[in-house]
Amino acid sequence: MWLSKVRETTGQSVDVDWQPFSLAQANSADKGEDFKIWEQPGIIDGSDTALLAHRAGLAAKRQGKEAFESYLMTLLKARHEEKKDLTDPAVIHDAGVAAGIDMGQFQEDLLDPDLLREIGESHTKAVEEHGAFGVPTYVFPGGGTAFIKMFVPPDEQAGAIYNNLSEMVSTLMHVGEVKRPQPPWPHGVI
């Protein structure tokens, strides 16, 4: 949501290559070192919908950048504004309809078992190459990587926040972590 505001308010091109990262996998240390959520029987047969939103995102991505971005924004709004459950197949379907993607192609692609391989590879790469541990993790131009927890800023701050964070993460290598005490943050922000 924030990055779309950067585009809208500044006209700045923000090229994003959205990739799946599974919090269910990241939080599975108690299941053993060899546990891979994308290899679990319920995930494979679809009875466990823990990775449904990831599968749906990849299925929408197959319809091109514009279709994917429309679908992603619809899904993000469903989750963060409407508080809908992204493991609910009806929510996933309704987002596709609202985004105007080709639903026949989407449903066909959603069933492709290769999506689970893509999710596993993306998650593994995020952890091994970028040190990802949570979402959202951003890999900025120049290769700087950071987990950034924030609320959607007002329009007049969106671009400045992006530019400042991008510069800090990409060039100021001595900064390892910046965290506001909670509370008081986010008092007065939302």
More confident residue, 112 or 181: 112
| Torsion angle in degrees (nearest 10) through CA of 67, 71, 72, 75 | 180
CB 139 within 8 A of CB 145: yes
CB 35 within 8 A of CB 28: yes
More confident residue, 68 or 11: 68
Does the pLDDT at position 7 exceed 90? no
More confident residue, 190 or 52: 52
Look at phi and psi of residue 11 and say left if phi exceeds 0, alpha if psi is from -120 to 50, else beta.
Answer: left
* Domains of the chain as residue ranges with CATH: 22-123 (1.10.472)
Confidence of residue 182 (pLDDT cuts 50, 70, 90): confident
Average pLDDT score over residue span 136-145: 84
Average pLDDT, rounded, for the chain: 92
Does the pLDDT at position 67 exceed 80? yes
